[in-house]
Amino acid sequence: MSTKEEIGITVKKDENFSEWFSQVVAKARLADIRYGLQGFIVHREWGFKILRKIYELFEEEVEKNGHEPVLFPIAIPEKFFEKEKEHVEGFAPEVFWVTRAGNDDLEEPFALRPTSETAFYSMYSLWIRSWKDLPFKRYQSRICVYRYESQTRPFLRGREFLFFETHCAFRTHEEALKQVEEDMKILKKITEEKLFIPFIFFRRPKWDKFAGAQDTYAADSVMPDGRVSQIGSTHDLGQRFSKAFEVTFKDEDMKDKYVWITCFGPGIWRIMASIIAIHGDDKGLILPSSIAPYHCVIIPIYFKGKEKEVDEKAIEVQKILSEQGFSVAVDTNKEKTAGFKFNEWEMLGIPLRIEIGPKEVKDNTCVIVRRVDRNKNSVPVKNLVEEIEKELKINDKLLKKRSKRYHVITKAETFEDVKKLVGKGFIKAPFCSIDETAEKCAEKLQETTNLKVRGIPLEDEEKAKGKKCIICGKPAKYIVYLAKAY
């Protein structure tokens, strides 16, 4: 962070969101897009530390929910991949193939996993034998998947991107559907309650479900530019994959039966993108305390001849806070001004800054500055632990409150009304259906407006009695949500 072009963001978030986002990604050392291969980015130091925290949150929750960790190969043999017809059709156009090794053409080329259903279930057919083995819940974390995308963007769409996936097998469809609900609760608990990203869970239209799924439930969050981003999804795979991969169990009645499968994937990258986009401001990132690599940064304010006493106090304060479980950085660099450092650390989004100068040393106090609203507060060192706890909570609370500002939902009754609202978050509108029969209407909508039917919300399903589909004019079955999407 030492040369001029790395200092500060040069555009306003509200004026040029896209450029602002790119600058934050580069300048807060989240990722570097200059690797030289489209869609493959380098996850840099600060970005990696935040992503690791996000992963830890999900690992903890799914393990509490009974999932055991495993790690599968990146390679999907062609023969696995082709067992489930819809799955291969959906993924074939975007799969990378390894065809050579050393000087040999491989007899059996393999794909780089675009997702891991076929890998997991090929082994589940060996691992699951009896009803006593069920439910069988496994997950893998901190992996990448590979898709041959044409348009790529850090944390939004990549040819290589970070992944997390659970795969569960059950005795009955009811139990499977209950897991789908659990998955949604896990996503909500972390993303909404700890990361403050508002979203809506939808049942996706039949034409937009995961390739091979019976039903897809996905969460969309509105980005500052009014487009929505899918930040996670969970799928009821029914018995399609268990039939394709012969995943059976001997039930209590001694009959062999196919398991019911679900899979769940929070979008690690997309969640990161939402954290950047929704919480950030013109100074850079703002991080919720649950994933901030440091809760606070101490910046000693140096005056000539007083450097030593200020540094000593800073280290003392760091020690007090660390012992109470806070993660605290101290920036004792003597070549940069305090103001310069304020900017640097604000860019990184640390929730709280602690300023300690000679005055504070004398009074045995600290100045605490919140990242969200830059509120300043002088507190005695003896109260510091409680004050930091309090200020972190306030910072999070303000962040949560602000997070709602992009979460816009409007209503429309006609196609004309819809057109005026394009690109401004969600639009609720009557639609003939979300079954295959309505796919034509959805295509027409997308061709003319770039809007997609995101589905019907799970928590607030609205009947469309008496209303007409905005496209075909036939009686509408549902009020659906429309949006431009990432």
Per CB under 8 A, residues contacting a copy of itself are: 2-3, 32, 34-37, 40-45, 48-49, 52, 68-75, 77, 79-80, 92-104, 108-110, 112, 119, 122-123, 126-127, 129-130, 132-133, 138, 142, 144, 148, 160
Distances (CA, A) of 449 to 3, 151, 458: 43, 19, 25
- State the nearest-atom distance from the C-beta of 185 to a copy of itself, in Å: 23
| Amino acid identity, position 454 | R
- State the nearest-atom distance from the C-beta of 99 to a copy of itself, in Å: 5
3-class DSSP assignment, residue 239: coil
Of 126 and 254, nearer to a copy of itself (C-beta) is 126
Residue whose entry in the numeric block shows the structure tokens 């990242």: 371
Of 41 and 456, nearer to a copy of itself (C-beta) is 41
- State the nearest-atom distance from the C-beta of 159 to a copy of itself, in Å: 8
229 within 8 A of 221, measured Cβ to Cβ: yes
For residue 389, the tally of other CB atoms under 10 A from its CB is 16
Of 73 and 423, nearer to a copy of itself (C-beta) is 73
Interacting residues of 52 by C-beta distance below 8 A, sequence separation 6+: 142
Of 100 and 405, nearer to a copy of itself (C-beta) is 100
3-class DSSP assignment, residue 389: helix
3-class DSSP assignment, residue 334: coil
- State the nearest-atom distance from the C-beta of 301 to a copy of itself, in Å: 22
67 within 8 A of 61, measured Cβ to Cβ: no
Of 122 and 216, nearer to a copy of itself (C-beta) is 122
- State the nearest-atom distance from the C-beta of 25 to a copy of itself, in Å: 14
Separation between Cα atoms, residue 114 and residue 131, nearest integer Å: 30
Of 70 and 315, nearer to a copy of itself (C-beta) is 70
194 within 8 A of 288, measured Cβ to Cβ: yes
Separation between Cα atoms, residue 364 and residue 310, nearest integer Å: 11
Of 13 and 113, nearer to a copy of itself (C-beta) is 113
Write the DSSP symbol of residue 279.
I
Give ∠ CA 20-196-55 in degrees, rounded to 5. 85
Could you write out the DSSP letters of every residue in 167-207? EEEESSHHHHHHHHHHHHHHHIIIIITTS----EEEEPPGG
- State the nearest-atom distance from the C-beta of 420 to a copy of itself, in Å: 37
Of 49 and 419, nearer to a copy of itself (C-beta) is 49
- State the nearest-atom distance from the C-beta of 49 to a copy of itself, in Å: 7
Query: Judging by beta carbons within 10 Å of its beta carbon (0-12, 13-18, 19+), is residue 465 exposed, middle or buried?
Result: exposed
Of 14 and 42, nearer to a copy of itself (C-beta) is 42
- State the nearest-atom distance from the C-beta of 18 to a copy of itself, in Å: 23
Separation between Cα atoms, residue 266 and residue 195, nearest integer Å: 13
- State the nearest-atom distance from the C-beta of 149 to a copy of itself, in Å: 10
Of 75 and 394, nearer to a copy of itself (C-beta) is 75
| Amino acid identity, position 332 | T
Q: Which of 277, 192, 266, 271 is closest to 226 using CA atoms?
A: 277
- State the nearest-atom distance from the C-beta of 396 to a copy of itself, in Å: 25
